[in-house]
Structure 1
Amino acid sequence: MFSNRVKWDVSSNKISSLLQKKLQQGEEINDLTESNPTKCGFTYPENEIIKAFSDKSILQYTPEPRGILPARRVISNYYQTRGVEINPNNIIITASTSEAYTFIFRLLCNAGDEILVPCPSYPLFEHLSQINDICLSRYNLYYDFEWHIDISSIETAISDRTKIIILLHPNNPTGSYVKQDEFEQICKIANMKDIAIIVDEVFYPFNLETRREPANLLKGHPKLMFTLNGISKLLALPQLKISWIVIAGKPTYVQSALEKMDVISDCYLSASTPSMLALQQLMPACSQLRNSIIERLKTNYKFLKESLISSSITPYNVEGGWYSPIKLPRIHNDEDWAIKILDRYNVFVHPGYFFDFTDDSTLVVCMLKEVNAFQKGINIIKKVAG
């Protein structure tokens, strides 16, 4: 009855089964994978957010495939603060980043075509590629006290059916920004092969370093590039369902992409009108909230680095984002470590294999957690590792 594209193994793994058992028994779990900002104890500007939805214009509906112009102007103004001029007409508003990916895949890929994604990276791409009947190939990141893109692995992975190279800026969960020289090399390869580039910037504002600013990839020169972002991370408002695509590149490619994307988007019209109308007030209202998130991330990352000095655990250096991978002793693999920590001490972490880490003793934690709970969890992990 069901299609081949959804022939997934949806049975629980050992870690999720143990977690569900403990939750059903009423045990309290210190969840160091929590990435929902609305559950992490931040103070939201409640009055301002509610007021943003009080305009009577939300009672009217004017369907626009690219999203209503006032919202696109707000997004354009956001990029101005980063020193980049973006024409609001080059912006497509969607309900989520996943939907944005799907629109782009439908725009560029036939069934069986390929996309390139980084490894390690977020497992969402596997499902999105299957849903869209395309194939997933990987290029490698390597680590020498900071993460780098292995450009040769991109060249090796490219085939006659490669349509898109995906860059995460910064990557999740390595927290590594794409470096300017890497981007220039990738643009050169993509332009020679007529391959489009997607730059996912959902974690871009969360820079944990002060010694250097992330590269501004929107100033690059690819033939065709799609930059993704949204308020799920930028404003910590995932429930309001607003993301967007910025289309850039050579004018003829951009114009053709926009015209075709209009048809795709018009089939769905999924972006919320109230959320789009509220965006003009939400952007400034949530700027302090974003600053609070950045400060917590920096506090938790500083504690993580300092508390693990002289321990058996090695934290990877992270440049930005919400996550941090840590390397434990190889006396257990990542899954066994995660099960042991959860079973004995009720601390829940991701095993590295979830993100395709090649090192089998890596765990991944989310640094969004409230400070005291985060520190308690890290101290327990350190205790278990010995």
Structure 2
Amino acid sequence: MKHPYLTDDHQMFRQALRKFLDKEAYPHFDQWEKDRMITREFWTKMGEQGFLCPDVEEAYGGSGVDWGFSVVINEELEKVGTSMIGIGLHNDVVVPYLTAFATKEQKERWLPKCVTGETITALAMTEPGTGSDLANIRTTAIKDGDHYVLNGQKTFITNGIHSDLVVVACKTDPKAEPKHKGVSLIVVERGIEGFSRGRKLDKVGLHSQDTAELIFEDCRVPKENLLGEEGKGFLYMMDKLQQERLLVAIGAQVAAEDMLQTTIDYVKSRKAFGQPVSKFQNTQFKLVEMATEIEMGRTFLDQLIARHMAGEDVVTEVSMAKWKLTEMAKDTASSCMQLHGGYGYMEEYKIARRYRDIPVSAIYAGTNEIMKTIIAKNMGL
């Protein structure tokens, strides 16, 4: 049966990426987790091999291929560990803002270095007092001659420490009614006076993924760094959230698949009462239940990716996938840890890290409660 979006070219690309990750990621990942940071050297190696922003046009250094190649990248990085999500955010969340809304001059200035890994990007939406309620952000950018003066604070920013280019959601018109019409996007570059990093946040999981606070104090940003039109920032963010949430669903699905296989391998090798743990009916039933849920998730997800690639509006279905697959992955992590017994609680076993890393997927890119609200609205409830 023909796959809904993958071709032989995608499979060849996957094999090349796996070979690269076997050499450049897997042997170093535990150290990155201990150091609480993925090295910039890894980013530039990804860029050198064509594994960053593959769908960017060739004119700006990319390969101009379809989004299926990005799906392959995200799946293979998730197999290494969820802490690799910063690369997916760069490739498939932040850079698409530039490809969609930047001027030709801005694209020429920013995109080539995003493709090589010399420039790492971040998206600064969330504030200490504002998460999903983006219309009520408090960071302001007031025009002053040829500049915007940016003031405010952002938190939970993925790639916050490494980032060289930050797309910042801010209020260029704090008095606008309705409030969302005052939101704009401004690109802040590393080194601009008034832009600084706050704390590198110490998280329960995702240890090697750099998450930080960003601070803007009378930060003067050239007006040429406005992304798109003033007052359209909220609409731009809504336009791009479909792909971001789909990325989270992909990560959750792959994490669940990986946890299941890891656990199957473990219970086959672990013996209790004179036989492998896999021979006990409880173990078999638990694994069968998980395998069924995971297989159903994969079927739903693959057709959804194909529809997204075809340009369809699948906001409702993506919201369903985001909440359902992340909850499924959380349940899988708990069940798989239980089947590992005491060893599942040891850091040397991969399931322990998965157990720590997966819960946040139900929170970022819009909480699962927000997903249900979107679905309910689109159902006419």
Q: Answer whether TM exceeds 0.5 for this pair.
A: no
Structure number with the bigger relative contact order (C-alpha 8 A, sep ≥ 6) is 1
What TM-score do you get using the length of structure 1 for normalisation? 0.25
